[in-house]
């Protein structure tokens, strides 16, 4: 069995205004050490439970993995490599943590991909979002990554809401970063979640929505510009130079099996989805999983459809749809009159045009409505 591994590092130096992930401020180093030791035990448990599994990809996410001391990060990497050398081994990092020395260390450990959370090159926006790095930090980090030769992704956020008085810098930011030739770029719409600082600022009238026409025009520009610059738009929010698509993310979109370790991590193994406990206290005291669910039948089929249709130009395979119990003719009847859906003998997918990709969420929901 081919397997991927997600490792959650919940520690952050600060909480971003829009973040609703499970994260904690950096604690005493002995707590971080205890947490990493617990992670290593959990990785060992899965390795013993799945002795014949081949590790395909590994991803250390957070939180802020780059905020960990290198000695603790190295312990995690060595444990993963003891299981087997994943073909793609990613760590997330904040721009302010990336130095030539840090990169040299992680490359020597065996990490071969970095995902750097730039988000924007507007210092005003970074401050409003409670990010502590600056545009200069981001530019310097990208220069270090590019010169090191490591495979790297740049994470950007499109601000669906802006603090009043701050102007949009999105197109300028994208042009600046693409000129530095990252292997991969992710561009996500900012989601606003209840309980976050961003949500409170919107409700308090401090932030206002970006007009839909502006958002639409910016996204159409983005899709066209990235294509002109040689980037393959292979998933709704992701662009890659040829051969640099994220292998780990594709695992999720293909419904392949993956283990998640750490606080609040999710996993999907042998069609069982599980969720780990959400607090460090419970995790350190020995509790790990709190929820299990066997995914089968209609649920498995629906999830496949929702995930597969995010892959541009690939979409739903007739063979897999029918193997999961789906009726291809019903699906075709739902899609046949949709302008943004392309149908072949053995595949159905959202058309690769800026206009259709912008409408993809509503198209996918309408097409799969009988199974939702």
CB atoms closer than 10 angstroms to residue 261: 23
CA angle 35, 23, 143 (to 5 degrees): 95
Q: What is the pTM of this model?
A: 0.94
Beta-ladder partners of 3: 55
Count of helix runs (H) and strand runs (E) in the chain: 15, 19
Do 222 and 175 contact (CB within 8 A), yes or no?
no
Q: Helix 135-148 vs helix 100-109: angle between axes, to the nearest 10 degrees?
A: 40
Average pLDDT over all residues of the chain: 94
Asked whether the predicted pLDDT for residue 27 surpasses 70, the reply is: no
Q: What is the pLDDT of residue 345?
A: 86
What pLDDT digit, counting tens, does each position of 255-277 carry?
A: 999 999 999 999 999 999 999 99
Supply the angle between the helices 297-308 and 360-367 in degrees, to the nearest 10. Answer: 150
**What tokens were used for 191?**
């989601």
Alpha helices in the chain (DSSP H): 29-49, 70-83, 100-109, 123-128, 135-148, 170-178, 197-203, 212-228, 247-253, 280-284, 297-308, 318-323, 328-335, 354-358, 360-367
According to DSSP, the β-strands at 2-9 and 11-12 are unpaired
Average pLDDT of 113-132?
95
The mean pLDDT value for 360-370 works out to 91
Binning pLDDT at 50, 70 and 90, where does residue 20 land?
confident
pLDDT of res. 75: 98
Instruction: Give residue 167's pLDDT.
Output: 87
pLDDT in tens, 329-348: 999 999 998 999 999 989 99
- For the segment 283-332, what is each residue's pLDDT rounded down to a tens digit? 999 888 778 999 999 999 999 999 999 999 899 999 999 999 999 999 99
At 106 the pLDDT is: 98
Question: Residues 6 or more apart from 197 whose CB is under 8 A from it?
Answer: 15, 17, 18, 130
Read off the pLDDT band of 158 (50, 70, 90): very high
pLDDT of residue 13: 84
Residues 6 or more apart in contact with residue 318 via CB below 8 angstroms: 328, 345, 346, 347, 348
Lowest pLDDT segment from 37-41, 154-158, 209-213, 226-230 = 209-213
Residues 179-221 pLDDT 10s: 999 999 999 999 888 988 899 999 999 999 999 999 999 999 9
Q: In this predicted model, what pLDDT tens digit does every residue of 52-89 receive, in sequence order?
A: 999 999 999 999 999 999 999 999 999 999 998 899 99
Is 170 a residue whose pLDDT tops 90?
A: yes
């Amino acid at each position: 069995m081919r397997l991927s591994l997600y490792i959650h590092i919940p520690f952050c130096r600060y909480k971003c205004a829009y973040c609703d992930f499970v994260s904690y401020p950096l604690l005493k180093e002995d707590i971080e050490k205890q947490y990493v030791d617990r992670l290593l035990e959990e990785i060992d448990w899965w390795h013993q439970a799945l002795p014949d599994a081949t590790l395909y990809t590994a991803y250390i996410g957070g939180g802020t993995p780059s905020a960990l001391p290198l000695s603790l990060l190295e312990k995690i990497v060595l444990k993963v490599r003891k299981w087997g050398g994943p073909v793609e081994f990613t760590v997330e990092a904040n721009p302010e943590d990336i130095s030539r020395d840090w990169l040299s260390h992680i490359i020597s450990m065996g990490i071969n991909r970095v995902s750097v959370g730039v988000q924007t090159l507007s210092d005003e926006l970074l401050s409003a979002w409670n990010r502590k790095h600056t545009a200069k930090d981001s530019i310097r980090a990208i220069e270090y990554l590019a010169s090191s030769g490591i495979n790297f992704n740049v994470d950007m956020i499109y601000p669906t809401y802006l603090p009043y008085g701050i102007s949009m810098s999105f197109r300028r930011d994208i042009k600046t970063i693409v000129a530095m030739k990252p292997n991969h770029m992710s561009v996500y719409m900012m989601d606003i979640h209840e309980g976050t600082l961003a949500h409170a600022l919107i409700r308090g009238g401090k932030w206002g929505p970006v007009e839909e026409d502006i958002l639409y025009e910016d996204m159409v520009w983005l899709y066209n510009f990235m294509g002109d610059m040689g980037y393959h738009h292979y998933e709704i929010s992701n662009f890659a130079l040829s051969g640099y698509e994220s292998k780990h993310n594709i695992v999720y979109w293909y419904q392949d099996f993956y283990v998640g370790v750490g606080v609040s991590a999710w996993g999907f193994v042998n069609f069982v989805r599980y969720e780990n406990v959400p607090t460090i206290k419970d995790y350190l005291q020995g509790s790990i999983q709190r929820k299990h669910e066997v995914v089968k039948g209609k649920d498995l089929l629906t999830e496949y459809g929702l995930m597969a249709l995010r892959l541009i130009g690939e979409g739903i395979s007739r063979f897999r749809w029918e193997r999961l119990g789906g009726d291809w003719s019903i699906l075709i009847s739902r899609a046949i009159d949709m302008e943004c859906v392309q149908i072949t003998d053995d595949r159905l997918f959202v058309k690769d045009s800026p206009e259709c990709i912008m409408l993809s969420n509503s198209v996918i929901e309408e097409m799969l409505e009988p199974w939702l």
